[in-house]
Chain A
Amino acid sequence: MKFHRIFAPQDFLIAVHWENNIPDEFSRLFEEWTDLDFLENFFYENKNDLNSKFWQGISIEKAVFRTIREALTFRKTFVDLVEIHPANRISHLKSIFKPLKSSAENPSNLLRTKAYGTTMASWLRLYAIKVDSNMYIITGGSIKLTQRMEDRKHTMQELIKLDMCREFLRSEGIFDEAGMVEFLESEF
């Protein structure tokens, strides 16, 4: 596990890099969400979920192109963050990342959060640990077609990644932005 600054040299958004031979999570996800081969295969494997009441039998073709469209607008949300004045950034980050629905969450301590795609009923999710109001660490993301993350292996995996990252931060004594900045600056 390594950490990448998404907006280097700024620290407000960081992505986890889980393995050496693949990109950091933020970069990897937007690549996958615009990759036809990945998407066609993903929706073929999960076509039963597309036939659920909620998704009303949307075709694999529509699902693929809808994902690409959503991913592009979702990514634009983050591109636009660069332009936002640092003083207004906290409120923007707060509007993007929402707490995971879980009774076990402690709101003040390395909260597990999710960001939705920007369209109505979007199935795109980014998952992040909120270190502080001005700092989030993206641990992964997924195309979520079911109500609960525990319902599918690929979303369950994202819960595990969130917890692994949180445990790591705790083990390093990182509980807030100052702790993370100290950690990030330790390379110098």
Chain B
Amino acid sequence: MIKQKPSEKARKLISDIPSDWLEKANWYEENKSWLEKSAVLAFKILRTLREKSISQMEFAKMIDVSPQYVSKILKGKENLTLKTIDSIEKCLGITLQNIDTPSPVCLTEFPQTLHHP
């Protein structure tokens, strides 16, 4: 069979931008440990938003961040700060992470002197 010369149309169809998949794959592997945690948090948030019929736009307003940032959080690929987690927990009335904080009783029971007697 005689091969045709690539057409002008064909020349325009070859992308000169390399695929970024390998870069993304390597990034995921390097950050896998915290990404797994971020995914768990994102899933809890997504289910709560669905149960309470809260749109992503409304959620962004509730926690006072941009819709773009909410989109990142919900993809499960955002390294959330404790401040953001706390804000989400308060707004949605859920617990995302169990971090034991000392109760007031614990604090009063702590010795009041700084040095051993």
User: In the complex, what residues of B have CB within 8 A of residue A23's CB?
Assistant: 19-21
User: In the complex, what residues of B have CB within 8 A of residue A38's CB?
Assistant: 75
Query: How many residues from B make CB contacts under 8 Å with A?
Result: 32
Nearest B residue to A35 by beta-carbon distance? B75
Q: Are B24 and A172 in contact (CB under 8 A)?
A: no
Give which listed residue, B16, B17, B39, B50, contacts A36 with CB less than 8 A.
B39
User: In the complex, what residues of A have CB within 8 A of residue B17's CB?
Assistant: 4
Digitize A56-95: 1 where CB-to-B-CB distance is under 8 Å, 0 elsewhere. 0000010011001000100110010010000000000000
Nearest B residue to A13 by beta-carbon distance? B19
**Residue A116 interfacial (CB < 8 Å):** no
Nearest B residue to A187 by beta-carbon distance? B14
Q: Are B13 and A1 in contact (CB under 8 A)?
A: yes
Q: Are B43 and A27 in contact (CB under 8 A)?
A: no
Docked Cα-Cα span, A172 to B17, in Å, equals 22
**Residue A54 interfacial (CB < 8 Å):** no
Q: Are B14 and A186 in contact (CB under 8 A)?
A: yes
Q: A34-B28, A36-B43, A40-B46 are in contact. Are A183 and B71 (CB under 8 A)?
A: no
Q: Which residues of B pack against A, CB within 8 Å? A: 1, 3-4, 6-7, 10-11, 13-22, 24-25, 28, 32, 39, 42-43, 46-47, 50, 71, 74-77
18 examples of A-B residue contacts, CB within 8 angstroms: A2-B15, A3-B15, A8-B19, A27-B19, A36-B74, A37-B76, A40-B47, A61-B43, A65-B43, A75-B21, A76-B25, A172-B6, A172-B10, A179-B3, A182-B3, A183-B6, A183-B10, A184-B14
